[in-house]
Structure 1
């Protein structure tokens, strides 16, 4: 399209800057930092060509403009101004929190009919939080605080996009606000920092709210490559009045040694049918007697009752079920 050709010809291609996982600046050391919500969505760079068109590029460099047609109005609103913006695409639940499962339904879809249906069923929202280029001028060397002021001046608010508020110099308030509203966590950004394309910088720090839960192992999925024959991920559940309810899949945090040990345990507990009270549609699932209890950390629960970002911590032999 002509608008997209113009973007390539005029606007600089900019990779998104990345945050590090590290402790947040403590109280009294936070005056030089700004704080934003961590949205747990799909990172997106937005190219407004100045001809009322927009191009959306994912964090890994793929053009996703056709996947999210409800965001085309950003180009209309931005008019003849040229800009490269940074943001995150989310699907919000009825309480205004990101719904990761609904977002996954949208990601990678390009079939026009399916896109049109999903646009109605799971509309996305774009959270804008930075501007790297504006009207012919690079803002990469401009301090974060000034970039945020420039972004606010663009007044980019629409039916499916907005510029969320941020706070300055009060880490405790930012942390408590994100926790109270059920967000994943916060991102701290040094007020004087420049924008470093493609770099994971200590000038941006991300921190998640972490919960610890005990879950029951009810099945597993075979790993690939060197893990063939061993569990690659675990199907876990939690006790409920009607039985063991499926709570999701754990695939992060397991060492090779732990997978080998679990393979022996789970092999001895094999069964032919699911131990879960609810329907679980997981291809390749191998079921086991729900005896072993594990400890996992998560960043919360999805609206459908699934663990969010579950990470293995350890087996809990002291809690083994009979």
Structure 2
């Protein structure tokens, strides 16, 4: 059984991500953990003096959080009846990313699925603040769902890689998704007139072995930036999911976390699966 974490702020964007998750795993037994965090940091003067006749501001936020989670759960169950799916609600007075870190460890979470929408600031070309921080700190695979994205099975998965770093064991989540949906994996390597090193060639061979039971193709793109190569590939091919490994010091970090004002506005229009290079403690 898979354990899936679904953070929610009760927005349509967050619900859209939950919708995607329950449809993606419609044929699997899963426990979905619906998480909402609240941090009432601004206290009105009337709450500074304790009065047992009135709820505290924290209690008010807690009540709002629990009722919100109940509404989300009713909506999911009403629209997606599935006897294989189980749900737990978690309402926590904590910062979102701190709580996610604790839950991933405590509940042995296999995947985080959260909504996102394109940011306009140069430092957040891809996502909003919460999602960027979650990706940076994720200890398990994270699937970001663009706002308004309508579910479709991930039949075509794009996997850009620089063949640097060891192949993470956590890559199995992509293998499982590809197997469940009879997907084809498109492995994209961008280079600049330099042949693969022996280590890179070895990792490419290892990927071929890893995906031996799945339909997969290798592509070499020369003379383009990584963002341009990914953008052009998606324009020329029908892609349903983008997957990348978050290797420290790799092109991934430059792509995600460095301002790319002069780049093409690398907007992810399909679900984006980010896999940590290893499960961090």
Give your verdict on TM over 0.5: no
Question: Which structure has more helix as a fraction of its residues?
Answer: 2
* Structure whose alpha-carbon radius of gyration is higher: 1
- Normalising by structure 1, report the TM-score: 0.27
Question: Which structure has more strand as a fraction of its residues?
Answer: 1
